[in-house]
Structure 1
């Protein structure tokens, strides 16, 4: 027997209840379905915890009642009675129909959505309901961005006065210092604050794993900065962007202070002091911060956009190689924009030191070296993934074209491979389209390039490449939309794709070549 309770207006009982009980079951189910379509589903954001939530020092509005209406809802005049569906219970074991939207959708789905929300949306999401608050606030404090001194001072004050902020900071995973979403560099952000950050937040963020410093690391940092960094005992990734240091010793102090370091990013670092003569190298032994180092990096990423930064990288690479920090390197990523020859020796030094531990190597640079490889992979016998980037103009004279240079450099790079475990190769081609496309230019005289192609193809069929699963060639075409139509660019890309298939013919014949236009 079924029992259904309906309340109309303010009434909690009705004489017709006994008559309703005698209604056939099929009619009751139809009535129940109709009522559920007419219900007004409400979610209330009155949450005592959520009312006090803040976002990195920025308060959010108090919760308010929000009404979400179903498709079957209709507006009611003031005098009409409101039908409220209180509950139902049946003898056949049916579960009650939830009236709260948060009860109808699993909380796991909400959590996945919250994980992909923009940071500016998270404060409002934390006020939606009690169920949303933990996940939204967790995401809010998962990554903290401090761009200016004012934000830093506000967070310090909240850390001192709010137990709630203290609790959430304990779960912070990443801190970005000095990056401003409006693109303002650090010298517009006010008084420096990085010197005091490790002292203040060293114990407040025990779960911090990623420290990202941009612009604000100075050559004259306070001596306590390096010592206080040791309080972050769980940092595994240190990322330094666009900073100037006095010398290698200052970088060494910072790196040695992060004892659990596994990933290091050096993006356009410069050194203000000139390089010492070779005879003065013994001075490194007198540095009190030198000492034994147990750090073993797993991932290293280096970027240098001009010759000054490439030269600084050369000095840094020498120290990294000699210190043994890169002896267990798994992944090496390098980006250079300048005279590539300046980076050849430092990169090869790191490749040699990493030896059998290296499984992934990514190098992107301009084509400036011909008839020889800019890097040597003979020591990396466990290499599984190789990524190369080539930039050139396809419209040069055939006898001295970038196609010949590309074939030569690819042959030089592939000929040094000594790993039987290589499974993935990716090559990124960047085509600069300056002049309007001319079909005559598409017909490269490949006969004059046959010598280079034969040498390249002979290398591609070596036993080291038998384990290859896929070769992905990404083609990027840079053009002026005011001078080139979309059709002409598509025709150009089609012609270049045909040339690329010719360049990688042995792998194309194996069916493992994929050309992608980005």
Structure 2
């Protein structure tokens, strides 16, 4: 295979930058190499094989592949520019200079479909904004908004100066084709600023919102009002994900945001809803907000997922309004020992409260996750059998036999086990076998239909 001639200034500039900072991703130059593969065995290999090979390459190798020959250049460049990550000031400046100097770089930026823009130098909210952090998020859409004319997915994470947020939202509107947005901006002053950012994308269908966005908003009643600053938009979300990660969020802030979603009819076409919450005092508020979204989505929703494995709460969303659900998933909480029957009774009540709200006759898939923590050195296998003897499973079994579950094809039960002490009286294998037997009894109506899959995995 012939060696390509590296006579492109911008490629040489990037090679220098890449060798100086290995954790940065390369930015190729403006022209392909002028060499070709020698007419050897490679000439008998279809170009599609080379393209497939390049697709499977690691991202840092795309620059080298682009320098091999003219046949490899288009595919390597396509893969390199398909996803662009701007996470440092040096990276931002380098890409901006190359785009300004070389028209071919701008043409490749027009093919970018995913952009990650992040500034991980978060400010200290207690000490106030620190200008020396050098935020770059507000500048990215100003420079690259028009160049990335085909952008479809945008990931924003980090800090924007509060005074720059209005202009930032206006600059984001240049990404006219964005359909998917992940937002984790940590410096908005008001809920309205969050809404203006989301409203900047008229074609938005997928939204992933992290609670960090609400945590930094000052506690003030004026910050939760929307009034005439509430943006109007024609967005119709198809997928929505809200993640809390255990942060304590002011109920008024989240309530104001969810109220805007509901009033604006943004969720009337929602197809997929995922909520991620952990144990916190905000959990009842999050459940209430989730129920408002579920009510607004109504029969359009086909998939609902609660990622709440570690929570020990019995509060779950109400699915009574979602009559077209095909897939639901939820966490059943955790149990720290097999002996206390009341903990297993709570688990049964938990499962009953979820399934009793199902009103969809189209349900085909249910996934559940359960965490079992072994902490008792005296744990015995007979403890599981006593649990089954004392549990009243008639109610939950009657619900499982309802017509809403007749079309079920797959019930997936994931049991994550772990222990922090060495077991002396029973082996872990015995515990796992007894857990399997316990859950087969719990899900007996579905096990009898042979649609239950139980997976045991180690967590610690």
d(CA) in 1 for partners of 2:114 and 2:178? 9
d(CA) in 2 for partners of 1:457 and 1:285? 49
Q: CA deviation at 1:338?
A: 2.0
Name the TM-score, length of structure 1 as normaliser: 0.75
d(CA) in 2 for partners of 1:413 and 1:260? 34
Task: Name the residue aligned to 1:454.
Answer: 394
**Length, aligned pairs only:** 430
Shifted more, 217-226 versus 351-360: the winner is 217-226
Distance 1:433 1:109, change over 3 A: farther
1:443 partner SS:
helix
| Matched-pair contact (CA < 8 Å) for 2:313–2:333 | no
Task: Name the residue aligned to 2:451.
Answer: 512
Task: Name the residue aligned to 2:417.
Answer: 477
1:339-391 CA-partner distances (Å, limit 9, x unpaired)? 33231111101100000110000012245444xx5211110001011011233
Q: CA deviation at 1:472?
A: 0.9
Residue 380, structure 1, aligned to residue 338, structure 2: no
Task: Name the residue aligned to 2:374.
Answer: 433
| Matched-pair contact (CA < 8 Å) for 2:180–2:204 | yes
1:120 partner SS:
helix
Distance 1:161 1:293, change over 3 A: same
Q: CA deviation at 1:502?
A: 1.3
Distance 1:163 1:399, change over 3 A: same
| Matched-pair contact (CA < 8 Å) for 2:5–2:35 | no
1:421-466 CA-partner distances (Å, limit 9, x unpaired)? 0011111222233445733465242355432x11111100000000
**What are the ranges of 5 or more consecutive residues in structure 1 without an aligned counterpart?**
1-42, 68-97
Residue 274, structure 1, aligned to residue 219, structure 2: yes
Name the TM-score, length of structure 2 as normaliser: 0.84
| Matched-pair contact (CA < 8 Å) for 1:174–1:210 | yes
d(CA) in 2 for partners of 1:247 and 1:423? 41
Task: Name the residue aligned to 2:53.
Answer: 113
Distance 1:469 1:222, change over 3 A: closer
Task: Name the residue aligned to 2:22.
Answer: none
d(CA) in 1 for partners of 2:278 and 2:323? 28
| Matched-pair contact (CA < 8 Å) for 2:10–2:98 | no
d(CA) in 1 for partners of 2:382 and 2:257? 43
Q: CA deviation at 1:226?
A: 1.3
Q: Equivalent residues in 2 for 1:64-79 (5 A)?
A: none
1:430 partner SS:
strand
Distance 1:397 1:491, change over 3 A: closer
| Aligned-residue RMSD, C-alpha | 3.1
Distance 1:176 1:436, change over 3 A: farther
Q: Equivalent residues in 2 for 1:329-368 (5 A)?
A: 329-339=270-280, 340-365=283-308, 366-368=310-312
Q: Equivalent residues in 2 for 1:83-98 (5 A)?
A: none
Q: Equivalent residues in 2 for 1:237-248 (5 A)?
A: 237-241=180-184, 243-248=186-191
Matching residue within 341, 362, 369 for 1:399: 341
Distance 1:123 1:236, change over 3 A: same
Q: CA deviation at 1:48?
A: 6.7
d(CA) in 2 for partners of 1:438 and 1:251? 51
